[in-house]
């Protein structure tokens, strides 16, 4: 039981969100003791397509990004339910080329990306517990939901097609389920990402985007020493855009697969490795990602 407690406390929250609706994030709805804080620093590298906005009107993207991610999270009790809050700030270095309206464009830029703020709550199967109470908790079925909000605070230049920030708000409600079978856990989540209009896209144009629908699934195995590993996959579709009211032929129907490995360093620190790749892509989703994150936690008597 001590190892199960360690695994849950260490890796309740440790994502590297590089790609909006394309995120592959296992253990989003696992339980954690109320009052535990998490400080996370991560690095992710992508090569190929454009990871932060697959709906951009570009083709043949050959872009590399290096992404630093800094995050803070805290487990909470809301309305008698276990909950979490997290705030994530990415910083990206981007370089490469793409085709826009038949013409090659080149971009080299660095800056902060749009931050992400999320509140999640478990409605069933994950009661709010102190660290002492959590030592006897065993997961069965967890049902939860979350809302992620991303304001347009990242680097943006209206004279460039490719930017790190998106110059629009993004809202992502999600519903998730997690079911444990001994050391195995099966997880699934369904979400929709809603966008406001970018009214200053590339020289004052207005760019709008339909909702982007996504599902993801994970098969997770937890070892007795607190290490866990998962096989991950996601599909996302929709998100067709208009430019000044003209509908574009950029309906998304993309999928990705990946894997995650996490292990504790000590009671307060842990490390996670992740990798993913595009399997099928109707738009610029054909990029590869490798990432590593370090997590430190404190609070509630740890």
Six-digit token string for 115: 């931050």
Contact 262, 294 (CB under 8 A): no
- Predicted confidence at residue 9, as pLDDT, reads 52
Nearest to 130 by CA among 34, 232, 253: 34
What is the C-alpha separation between 115 and 69, in angstroms, rounded? 10
Phi, psi of 4 (to 5 degrees): -65, -40
Six-digit token string for 163: 């930017």
What is the C-alpha separation between 1 and 135, in angstroms, rounded? 7
Q: Which residues pair with 96 in a beta bridge?
A: 63, 107
Question: What are the distances in angstroms from CA 176 to CA 120, 141, 144, 217?
Answer: 10, 11, 5, 10
One of 3.30.160.250, 2.40.160.40, 3.20.20.70, 2.60.200.20 is the CATH number of 2-298, namely 2.40.160.40
Six-digit token string for 109: 């830029």
- Predicted confidence at residue 1, as pLDDT, reads 46
What is the C-alpha separation between 140 and 276, in angstroms, rounded? 28
What single-letter DSSP state applies at residue 22?
Answer: G
Break the chain into its structural domains and give their ranges.
2-298
What is the C-alpha separation between 43 and 291, in angstroms, rounded? 6
**3 state DSSP class of 70:** strand
What single-letter DSSP state applies at residue 177?
Answer: E
pLDDT in tens, the chain (302 residues): 445 455 555 545 444 544 455 678 899 888 889 999 999 999 999 888 777 776 677 778 888 999 999 999 999 999 999 999 999 999 999 999 888 878 888 999 999 999 999 999 999 999 999 988 888 899 999 999 999 999 999 999 999 988 999 999 999 999 999 999 999 999 999 999 999 999 999 889 999 999 999 999 999 999 988 899 999 999 989 989 999 999 988 888 888 999 999 999 998 999 999 999 888 665 555 788 899 999 999 987 77
CB count in 10 Å sphere of residue 193: 22
What is the C-alpha separation between 68 and 74, in angstroms, rounded? 20
What is the C-alpha separation between 222 and 224, in angstroms, rounded? 7
Nearest to 221 by CA among 7, 25, 42: 7
What single-letter DSSP state applies at residue 283?
Answer: S
What is the C-alpha separation between 136 and 5, in angstroms, rounded? 8
């Amino acid at each position: 039981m001590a190892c199960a407690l360690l695994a849950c406390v260490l890796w309740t929250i440790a994502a590297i969100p590089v790609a909006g609706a394309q995120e592959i994030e296992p253990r989003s709805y696992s339980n954690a003791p109320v009052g535990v804080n998490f400080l996370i620093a991560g690095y992710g590298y992508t090569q190929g397509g454009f990871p932060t906005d697959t709906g951009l009107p570009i083709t043949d993207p050959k872009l590399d990004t290096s992404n630093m991610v800094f995050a803070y999270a805290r487990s909470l009790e809301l309305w008698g339910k276990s909950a979490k809050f997290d705030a994530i700030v990415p910083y990206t270095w981007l370089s490469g080329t793409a085709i826009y309206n038949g013409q090659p464009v080149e971009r080299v830029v660095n800056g902060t990306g749009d931050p992400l703020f999320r509140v999640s709550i478990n409605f069933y199967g994950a009661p709010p517990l102190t660290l002492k109470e959590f030592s006897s908790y065993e997961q069965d079925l967890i049902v939860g939901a979350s809302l992620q909000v991303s304001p347009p605070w990242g680097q943006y230049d209206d004279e460039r097609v490719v930017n790190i920030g998106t110059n629009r708000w993004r809202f992502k409600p999600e519903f998730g389920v997690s079911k444990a079978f001994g050391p195995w856990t099966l997880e699934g989540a369904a979400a929709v990402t809603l966008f406001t209009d970018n009214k200053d896209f590339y020289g004052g144009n207005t760019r709008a985007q339909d909702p982007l629908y996504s599902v993801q699934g994970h098969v997770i195995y937890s070892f007795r020493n607190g290490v866990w590993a998962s096989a991950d996959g996601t599909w996302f579709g929709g998100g067709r855009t208009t430019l000044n009211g003209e509908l574009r032929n950029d309906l998304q129907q993309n999928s990705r697969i990946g894997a995650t490995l996490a292990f504790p360093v000590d009671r307060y620190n842990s490390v996670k490795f992740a990798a993913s790749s595009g399997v099928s892509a109707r738009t610029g989703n054909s990029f590869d990602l490798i990432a590593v994150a370090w997590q430190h936690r404190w609070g509630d008597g740890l």
